[in-house]
Amino acid sequence: MNKLPQWADVVLVPLISLLLAALVAAIVLLAIGQSPTAALGIMVKGAFGSANGWGYTLYYTTSFIFTGLSVIVAFHAGLFNIGGEGQAQLGGLGVALVCLALPWPHWTVALLAASLGAAVFGAAWAAIPAYLQAKRGSHIVITTIMFNYIASALIVYMLVDVLRPAGQMDPASARFPAGAKLPALSDMPFISEFFARMNPDGTPKLTKAGLQMYSNVPANVTLFIALAACLVVWLLLWRTRLGYQIRAFGKSEAASKYAGINPVKITMIAMLISGGLAGMMAINNVMGSAERLLQNSAEGAGFIGIAVALMGRNHPLGVLLAALLFGFLYQGGAALGLNTTIPIEMRVVVQGLVILFTGALDQMVRMLLVWVFGFGRKAVA
Amino acid sequence: MVATANNGGRQATAALTPYAIELKGISKAFGPVQANKDINIAVPRGTIHGIIGENGAGKSTLMSILYGFYRADAGEVYINGKLTPIPDSQSAIRAGIGMVFQHFKLVQNFTVLENVILGAEDGPMLNTSLAKARKVLGDLSREYEMDVDPDALIEDLSVGHQQRVEILKALYRQADILILDEPTGVLTPDEADHLFRILNGLKDQGKTIILITHKLREIMEATDNVSVMRRGTMVATVKTAESSPESLAELMVGRKVLLEVEKVKATPGAVVLAVENLRVKDDDGIERLKGVSFEIRAGEILGIAGVAGNGQSELLEALGGIARATGRITLKGVDLPLVGLAANGQTRRAAGIAHVPEDRQHLGLIMDFSAWENVAFGYHNDPKYQKNAVFMDNDALRADTERKMATYDVRPPIATLAAKNFSGGNQQKIVVAREMEQNPDLLLIGQPTRGVDIGAIEFIHKQIVALRDAGKAILLVSVELDEIMSLSDRIAVMFDGQIMGTADPETTNERELGLLMAGVSGKA
């Protein structure tokens, strides 16, 4: 009946949801005898207060952009892909196999090949649930969750029995060759100024505490690929014929059949793109940061992607902003654990609250706003 | 016994005023939309009172207020001259109001008797209620010519019988005032005639009946008085005998309307579509289309009449490439694929078939998509909408949409507005514009004017005839007999998945068609 103006729907609803989450988090903090304002200060400072903090925040953001985009592409086709976590792990396997295959001459070549490997492996992992959904009607939510577990088991097997170098104790692949090392943001021209350890005059940069700057940040060139991916996904969904068919199919399967859109084809393609995007997250964490494949490499980013997509209103720009927010929560939360007696679990609580309010209770805020707006209109009239 | 006393009491007050219902100054707004504006209406006792108006005129809202579903923002309801607030439907029932909805509210796997007492049980044990209901039902059936087997399951009853159960339900609850919302939409002409006989019988017993409909013919046949609503206001209440369909239509729309379709005699050309022994099974493996054969020539409209659910939808879906089928379909002499990947909406469109589906909101449009996105729907592969191999030409598409909206008088003419924000008639115009402007060899058009207001009906009918005159073949499927009879050049009647017979619209009449629709072969 009553409709919210678009700006309120896009800006106000998430903002109020966030404030509510922050409010409840503050109450929790007060209840355990901590100061919410101090905690917020530490989080902001930890995430954005230093070059180093930015380095981590942007690193997390990059991963979340990929998994968030993965969720929205599937979602526009009416498919809820919860398997981002498994697809990202498989993407990691693809990256590792590519990186270890050759002594790569230059990182750009390695990056291209590894991106392809990550996307193909992630897409392949999504293809099986997609096929089961399209042909057999097995619900994709169930199968993708199951495939997350299978992915973890597969990776453990690969690490223990196949990829582990002889004599190594921990279940991990060998370190990638030097030619496959991606430049961190702190190594890149122009940007490196911000992260540089040295002042232009050659003296070491010091932090406010008087410590020498730590230059090696995990955020790397993949960030730019993630930003490009946002643009590509937007173009795909709203400017191409394929995107048109994906969105039509997601809105109404019956109508799509009338229009002659092949449901099997669209389900497969949308899930392949979705899985490929989730897989590409691995070039950020596996290739760009860890430089070898470890167990559980995705570290939950696949699931965070769902929250990012929900909060980002299934739009690439929204995903970008939401990924930044969750990057802040991750890095700020870590700073909280490092610098205060607030238990590290508090960061999980805060993330949980943000997901609860922006995702699950989003409709509550909207109804409230509809009421407020309706009231305003009546008062004017 | 208490109920009888109640009834008596009601009749005692009744003597004070001749009106069973009086609504005074009823207003109701939904947000910015004023659904009812200061409505006044008085319904004399023992009459059949028609309420007529276009979709969205506010008829349903007004009746929902009377039945306690909505609360009016302002206004008063008088039942038998007594001010009666109706906050919920329980109060409406207590006040003697019964309602028969367009979509029946019956439990499918309960018996008639169980449905009748549902919500009106006398105590925790059912035996006594069932026994009482059996007796009351027997009396009512005899009295009003409403024979229904009290022990039959609802799912085994025909639609007409189910409707009688709804009426019996209301009468069992001692209803003196009966509201029927579009009661004939699902009935054959015969069943509709029977319904009107029942209603007349009820009227003779002193019951008051309110009949909501958009069919002028029913108003003329069945009612004593008629109230016309337009855009939330009551524009007139007249004696039916003193009005005419033309004057009522003019009151409804607010301008002169052409009720009859003007068309010259068809000059059929070569055969465009030939269908042989077409069969379609549904998802449960039940055969819904049982061997249908017919031809349509260029410049000819073939009308398929029939009660909804007798295979017309499956016929359209098989021709439109949505449903798998067996048999043979040839378009201009070329066989079309009936199964497999090649049988889809894209190949059908490429072959020259355009399809306005029966259910535009479910099939024909993506309701969340804007008008311009919907104009490409089904034709998204059309080269004229592509910028290059990768991107669609959205600007060209928007321009094309604006042009079509202007030609087909879609209101408001905003290409970026979502389909769901247009009225039913304008949604239909978008679909019709999209399909007709493809200049197809064959147009499939199902229920072209369902839920469409009179002004738009006139327009859509003109477009169909114009397409015919341009030498195209048209398959028209409609449950509205008037529409079939006035538009078609030939009529085929479907019953139970088969064509029962064909008729010439010049010489046939509703009775002949009605018999065919009911499965009785008229000429045998």
DSSP string covering A94-161: HHHHHHHHS--S-HHHHHHHHHHHHHHHHHHHHHHHHHIIIII---HHHHHHHHHHHHHHHHHHIIII
Looking at the DSSP bridge assignments, the partners of residue B304 are: B477, B492
Interchain CB distance below 8 Å, A248 and B369 = yes
Across the interface, whether the CB atoms of B357 and A258 are under 8 A apart is answered: yes
Chain B contact present for A255, CB below 8 A? yes
What is the bridge-based pairing of β-strands B33-44 and B48-53?
unpaired
Could you tell me which chain B residue has the CA closest to the CA of A241?
Answer: B392
Query: At B125, is the pLDDT very low, low, confident or very high (cuts 50, 70, 90)?
Result: confident
* CA distance readout (Å), B125 to B111, B116, B137: 17, 15, 19
A2 → closest Cβ in B31, B364, B380: B31
Nearest to B171 by CA among B131, B211, B143: B143
Chain A with chain B: Cβ pairs closer than 8 A? 71
Which residues does residue B445 pair with via DSSP β-bridges, in sequence order? B356, B476
pLDDT of residue B11: 45
Encode burial over B226-250: b for 16+ CB neighbours within 10 A, e otherwise: bbbbbebebeebeebeebeeeebbe
If you average pLDDT over residues B253-260, what whole number do you get?
74
| DSSP state letter for B386 | B
B369 and A251: CB-CB below 8 Å? Answer: yes
So what's the pLDDT on residue B379? 94
pLDDT score, position A344:
75
Domain residue spans of chain B = 2-96+174-253, 271-364+440-517
d(CA B475, CA B241): 37
CA dist., res. A77 & res. A248, Å (int): 8
Strands B442-446 and B353-356: parallel
- Hey, are the CB atoms on A258 and B364 less than 8 Å from each other? yes
pLDDT top residue among B43 and A191: B43
Nearest to A241 among B32, B366, B380 (CB): B380
> Distance (Å, rounded) from C-alpha A1 to C-alpha B517?
40
Work out the minimum CA distance from B302 to partner chain A, whole angstroms. 22
Q: Would you say the C-alpha torsion A280, A281, A285, A286 has a positive or negative sign?
A: negative
CB of B260 closer than 8 Å to CB of B244: no
Gap from B289 CA to chain A (nearest CA, Å): 19
- Say whether residue A372 is in contact with chain B using an 8 A CB cutoff: no
From the centroid of its chain, how far is CA B130?
34
Nearest CB to B321: which of A1, A255, A260? A260
Q: Which of A2, A240, A252 is closest, CB to CB, to B366? A: A252
Judging contacts by C-beta atoms under 8 Å, the chain B residues touching residue A254 are 362-363
Q: Is A264 on the interface with B (CB under 8 A)?
A: no
Select from A197, A179, A178 the least CA-distant residue to A187. A197
To the nearest whole number, what is the mean pLDDT of chain B? 88
**Does the beta carbon of B150 lie under 8 angstroms from any beta carbon of chain A?**
no
Please tell me if residue A162 touches chain B, with a CB cutoff of 8 Å.
no
DSSP string, A46-113: HHHSSHHHHHHHHHHHHHHHHHHHHHHHHHHTT----THHHHHHHHHHHHHHHHHHS--S-HHHHHHH
Residue B386 is predicted with a pLDDT of 93
Q: How confident is the model at residue B376 (pLDDT cuts 50, 70, 90)?
A: very high
pLDDT in tens, A97-107: 999 999 889 99
Is B377 an 8 Å CB contact of chain A? Answer: yes
Which range, A265-279, A288-302, B19-33, B117-131, is most confident? A265-279
Name the closest residue on chain A to residue B383, using Cα atoms.
A241
Best residue of A244, A256, A370, A373 to probe chain B, by most B CBs closer than 10 Å: A244
Query: Which of B61, B374, B381 to probe by mutation at the A interface, max A CB count within 10 Å?
Result: B381
Task: Kindly report the backbone phi and psi dihedral angles of residue B22, in degrees, each rounded to the nearest multiple of 5, phi listed first.
Answer: -130, 125
Of A235, A243, A226, nearest to A323 by C-alpha is: A226
Query: In chain A, which residues have their Cβ closer than 8 Å to the Cβ of B322?
Result: 257-258
pLDDT value of position B6:
43
Please choose, from the candidates B457, B436, B468, the residue with its C-alpha nearest in 3D space to the C-alpha of residue B355: B436
- Residue B7, pLDDT above cutoff 60: no
Beta strands B225-230 and B48-53: pairing type? parallel
CA distance A242 to chain B (A): 9
- The letter for the amino acid at B54 is E
Question: What pLDDT was estimated at residue B157?
Answer: 85
* Partner A contacted by B383 (CB < 8 A): no
Name the residue among B277, B301, B266, B339 with its Cα closest to residue B477: B301
Tell me if chain B has a CB within 8 Å of the CB of A241: yes
CATH class of B271-364+440-517: alpha beta
Interface of B with A in 76-135 (CB under 8 A): none
Nearest CA in chain A to B320: A258
Q: B357 — contact with chain A (CB < 8 Å)?
A: yes
Put simply, the answer to whether A255 touches B386 (Cβ < 8 Å) is no
Amino acid in position B511: R
- Percent of chain A that is helix, strand, coil (3-state, to 5): 75, 0, 25
User: Cβ contacts (< 8 Å) between B365 and chain A: which residues?
Assistant: 255
Pick from B327, B310, B320: nearest CA to B442: B320
Q: What is the pLDDT along chain A (381 residues), one digit of tens a residue?
A: 346 777 777 788 888 888 999 999 999 999 988 888 998 999 899 898 888 889 999 999 999 999 999 999 999 999 999 999 999 999 999 999 999 999 889 999 999 999 999 999 999 999 999 999 999 989 999 999 999 999 999 999 999 999 999 888 889 999 999 888 888 887 777 777 677 655 556 666 665 555 555 567 899 999 999 999 999 999 999 999 999 999 999 999 999 999 999 999 999 999 999 999 999 999 999 999 999 999 988 888 999 999 899 888 899 999 999 999 999 988 998 888 888 888 877 878 888 898 888 877 878 888 888 888 765 554 443
Instruction: Look at the block and give the residue holding tokens 């379909």.
Output: B329
pLDDT of residue B185: 72
Strand partners, B27: B74
Q: Looking at residue A2, what is its pLDDT?
A: 47
Alpha-carbon span B463 to B486, nearest angstrom: 14
Chain B residues inside the 8 Å CB shell of A2:
31
B322 Cβ under 8 Å from any chain A Cβ:
yes
Residue with token string 């232009």: A200
Predicted-complex ipTM score: 0.83
Residue A268, chain B, CB below 8 Å: the answer is no
The answer to whether B152 and B106 have CB atoms below 8 angstroms apart is: no
pLDDT band at B391 (very low <50, low <70, confident <90, very high): very high
Percent helix / strand / coil, chain B, rounded to 5: 35, 25, 35
Residue of B nearest to A249 (CA): B366
pLDDT of residue B60: 82
B341 vs A contacts (CB less than 8 Å): 262
pLDDT category of residue B1 using cuts at 50, 70 and 90: very low
Q: Using the structure block, give the residue that is written with the tokens 């077409």.
A: B278
Side-chain half-sphere exposure of A118, counting CA atoms within 13 A: 32
Residue with tokens 């209103």: A313
CB pair distance less than 8 Å for A258 and B363: yes
The alpha carbon of residue B495 is apart from the nearest alpha carbon of chain A, in Å, by 24
A235, closest residue in chain B (CA to CA): B391
Q: Cβ of B390 under 8 Å from any chain A Cβ?
A: yes
Which tokens hold the place of B263?
């068309």
Interchain pair A241, B381: CB under 8 A: yes
List the single residue in A with minimal CA-CA distance to B393: A239
CB contact under 8 A, B392 and A244: yes
CA A66 to chain centre: 5
Residues 6 or more apart whose Cβ sits within 8 Å of residue A167: none
> Which are the contacts of B85, defined by CB distance < 8 A and separation ≥ 6?
B77, B91
Whether B471 and chain A come into contact, CB under 8 Å, resolves to no
Asked if A134 reaches chain B (Cβ–Cβ under 8 Å), the answer is no
Q: Residue B287: pLDDT above 80? A: yes
Which contacts of B36-42 are long-range, i.e. CB under 8 A and separated by 24 or more positions?
Answer: B36/B61, B36/B62, B36/B65, B36/B72, B36/B232, B37/B232, B37/B233, B38/B74, B38/B75, B38/B233, B39/B75, B39/B229, B39/B233, B39/B234, B40/B234, B41/B227, B41/B234, B41/B237, B42/B237
Residue B8 pLDDT: 41
Q: B151-157: list long-range contacts, CB under 8 Å, 24+ apart.
A: B151/B111, B151/B112, B151/B113, B152/B111, B152/B112, B153/B108, B153/B109, B153/B110, B153/B111, B154/B106, B154/B107, B154/B108, B154/B109, B154/B110, B154/B111, B154/B112, B154/B115, B155/B108, B155/B109, B157/B112
Domain at B2-96+174-253, CATH from 3.40.1740.10, 1.10.3720.10, 3.40.50.300, 3.40.50.970: 3.40.50.300
Looking up tokens 């099939």, which residue turns up?
Answer: B363
Q: Is the dihedral of CA B498, B504, B505, B507 positive or negative?
A: negative
Asked if residues B41 and B237 have their Cβ atoms less than 8 Å apart, the reply is yes
> At residue B361, does pLDDT exceed 80?
yes
pLDDT at B275: 96
pLDDT tens profile B158-190: 888 888 899 999 989 889 999 998 888 777 788
CA distances from B108 to A96, B114, B165 (A): 60, 11, 12
Instruction: Please tell me the total number of residues recorded for chain A in this structure.
Output: 381
| Gyration radius of chain B's alpha carbons | 25
pLDDT value for B29: 85
Identify from A249, A252, A367, A375 which residue to disrupt to test chain B contact, counting B C-beta atoms within 10 A and taking the largest count: A252
Nearest to B31 among A257, A260, A374 (CB): A374
Are the C-beta atoms of residues B393 and B386 closer than 8 Å to each other? yes
Residues of B in contact with A241 (CB under 8 A): 380-381, 386, 392
Amino acid present at B369: F
Nearest to A1 among B31, B363, B376 (CB): B31
Rounded distance, CA A105 to CA B512, Å? 86
How many Å lie between the alpha carbon of A222 and the closest alpha carbon of chain B?
25
For an interface test with A, which of B324, B373, B391 has the most A Cβ atoms less than 10 Å from its Cβ?
Answer: B391
Phi, psi (rounded to 5 degrees) for A318: -60, -40
Are the beta carbons of A180 and A158 closer than 8 angstroms?
A: no
Chain B closest-CA separation from residue A263 CA (Å): 11
Alpha-carbon dihedral of residues A86, A89, A95, A98, nearest 10 degrees?
-70
Phi then psi for residue B194, to 5 deg, are -60, -40
* Tokens 């995007």 sit on residue: A277
Confidence (pLDDT) at A211: 58
Main-chain dihedrals φ then ψ at residue B443, nearest 5 degrees: -110, 125
Least confident residue range of A127-141, A198-212, B299-313, B376-390: A198-212
**Distance set, CA B201 to CA B162, B208, B218 (Å):** 18, 11, 16
Chain A residue with Cα closest to B316: A258
Lowest-pLDDT range of A367-381, B23-37, B112-126 = A367-381
Do B271-364+440-517 and B2-96+174-253 fall under one CATH topology? yes
